[in-house]
Structure 1
């Protein structure tokens, strides 16, 4: 009997919890995997998936400083990556990226100490690069998607480091 994906995520997250995996560890893997996942998905993205990428960008436009809405938007940013993952034909790469994104989705808890403006800047940066990635994907330019996703992962990693530093006072 096949183990449900949700159960697999729970087991791996429990396992990793005791390994003290840091956000920096997660982003180190993400910087390596996401560009390949995104580039590999380009030839297989359907028109519906391309439309879904563009719709997701609209959904993630920062329109409020309300903390719970900001958290939901950062979680929705990950949906953009899930759409690409669904199109990638490599099941193991897809699973690894889905696991990372699910972990991030569950870890997106922002401290009240972090100014909402910082979350808004992060959201605006995500929307901008996601729009460029979607445009390159629609043009079927895998190499451009790879380069843009690499830049996106570097930028996102820096935002997350700042958010963690601000929320912990480091």
Structure 2
């Protein structure tokens, strides 16, 4: 008896407009077009790709929805190559994760892998005094512990802003995007799940301590110290945030039981 075979389900073939959209992207890349450059007119695209008007128009709508082209009407109008902003890319990726039920641990697993290496890289490259001052100005927004849940919420967002600003200084655009994205996702989770209530003095004190030590290591160009400090910072913040989440869950269950 011949062994059973497992047939994989074939990938669905892209629609014709999607194929044309992909072909236009390849054409743009092959010719080195830059944001702001005009695409050929609709009749030229019809002739170039040997497709009907409706297919070309739908392909351009696909590219516009992706943020890769932008149409303008009136004098000087047409379809132009457009650069996707980091904010739009993050929003689209955030939509993907909207129903994924990300956990605190999911996010910190990524942060613990990336941010220590970012710190080491920045220490190696060296930060200017202006960059150090910019980070210090962010820290000034939470220099004193919060007294209310509202203050805690604002301070937590500001403390995550410190890491987003740190990522802006990275030379690696992929690392910069991923770290800023995870920091923003953590900020959203903190706010939507109200993990800032009640104020957590230990979380504030440890964060201030680690960030102050990190700035000293960055100013000194000490790669090993910068990596170690930020790794410990992430591990400690992970532990404290999970404890905050657990406390909130217990409080919710207790209130539900009383009701």
Structures share fold, TM-score greater than 0.5: yes
Larger CA deviation: 38-47 vs 130-139: 38-47
1:86 corresponds in structure 2 to: 168
Contact 2:156 2:196 in 1 (8 A): no
Equivalent positions of 1:48-63 (< 5 A) are 48-63=130-145
> Which structure would you say has the larger RCO, counting Cα contacts within 8 Å and 6 or more residues apart?
1
2:128 corresponds in structure 1 to: 46
Structure 2 CA distance for aligned equivalents of residues 46 and 57 of structure 1: 17
Contact 2:138 2:158 in 1 (8 A): yes
2:233 corresponds in structure 1 to: 152
Offset from partner CA, 1:65-86 (integer Å, 9 cap, x none):
1111111101111122122212
Q: Does 2:179 correspond to 1:100?
A: no
Give the C-alpha shift of residue 136 in structure 1.
0.7
Equivalent positions of 1:1-170 (< 5 A) are 1-42=82-123, 43-109=125-191, 111=194, 114-116=197-199, 119-169=200-250
Give the C-alpha shift of residue 59 in structure 1.
2.1
SS in structure 2 at match of 1:65: coil
Unaligned ranges ≥5, structure 2: 1-81, 254-259
Structure 2 CA distance for aligned equivalents of residues 121 and 113 of structure 1: 12
Unaligned ranges ≥5, structure 1: none
Contact 1:49 1:83 in 2 (8 A): no
TM-score by length of 1: 0.90
Q: CA RMSD in A?
A: 1.9
SS in structure 2 at match of 1:108: helix
The count of residues paired between Structure 1 and Structure 2 equals: 168
- 4+ runs deviating over 3 angstroms: 110-115
Structure 2 CA distance for aligned equivalents of residues 44 and 11 of structure 1: 33
Give the C-alpha shift of residue 114 in structure 1.
4.4
**Are residues 22 and 64 of structure 1, via their aligned partners in 2, closer, same or farther at CA, if it must alter by over 3 Å?**
closer
Of structures 1 and 2, the larger Rg is shown by: 2
